[in-house]
């Protein structure tokens, strides 16, 4: 079982988009039983809140639901529980390292580093561009799944 935690600042836009996109890709690939996929925040600002409506609408445009998802904060226990902890930007990575007490096993990564254009997934909370975030998240999740297949980690 491959356990993946997607992480962003508030767990209401980018990381839940990645969580549900990845779940959809895994389901379509017939690999549901091989994954445990969740998402979390580095901050406490949105804890308990649902996925931000524009992010929810963007997922729905592509036939992906996220009903019941509520923001939660990453904990130090998540480092041991998950095989990969995938952040959306460098600020997330710094906070993930702080929360987990470091990354001795090399589990903390940026999502876009799995693609041919490494970097950050822009935060649509600030940019307002949920389409660009959708494209980045989809490309990142597709590349992550391909990487796991290639490395025969599944």
Active site residues: 8, 14, 123
**Sheet order of strands, 2-8 included:** 35-41, 2-8, 84-87, 108-110
| SS3 at position 143 | helix
| DSSP 8-state assignment for residue 47 | T
Cα distance between the two ends of the chain: 7
Q: Whose structure tokens read 């925040």? A: 41
CA–CA distance, 149 with 7 (Å, rounded to integer):
22
How many C-beta atoms lie closer than 10 Å to residue 95's C-beta?
19
71 and 12 in contact (C-beta within 8 Å)? yes
C-alpha count within 13 angstroms, C-beta hemisphere, residue 48: 1
């Amino acid at each position: 079982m491959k356990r993946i935690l997607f992480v962003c600042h508030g767990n209401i836009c980018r990381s839940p988009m990645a969580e549900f996109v990845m779940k959809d890709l895994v389901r379509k690939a017939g690999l549901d039983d091989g994954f445990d996929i969740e998402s979390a925040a580095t901050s406490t600002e949105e804890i308990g809140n649902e996925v931000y409506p524009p992010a929810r609408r963007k997922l729905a445009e592509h036939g992906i639901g996220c009903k019941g998802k509520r923001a939660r904060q990453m904990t130090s226990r998540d480092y041991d529980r998950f095989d990969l902890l995938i952040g959306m930007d460098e600020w997330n990575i710094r906070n993930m390292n702080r929360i987990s007490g470091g990354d001795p096993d090399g589990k903390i990564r940026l999502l876009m580093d799995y693609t041919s254009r490494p970097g950050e997934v822009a935060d649509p909370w600030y940019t307002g561009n949920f389409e660009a975030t959708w494209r980045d998240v989809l490309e990142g999740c597709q590349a992550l799944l391909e990487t796991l297949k290639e490395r025969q980690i599944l």
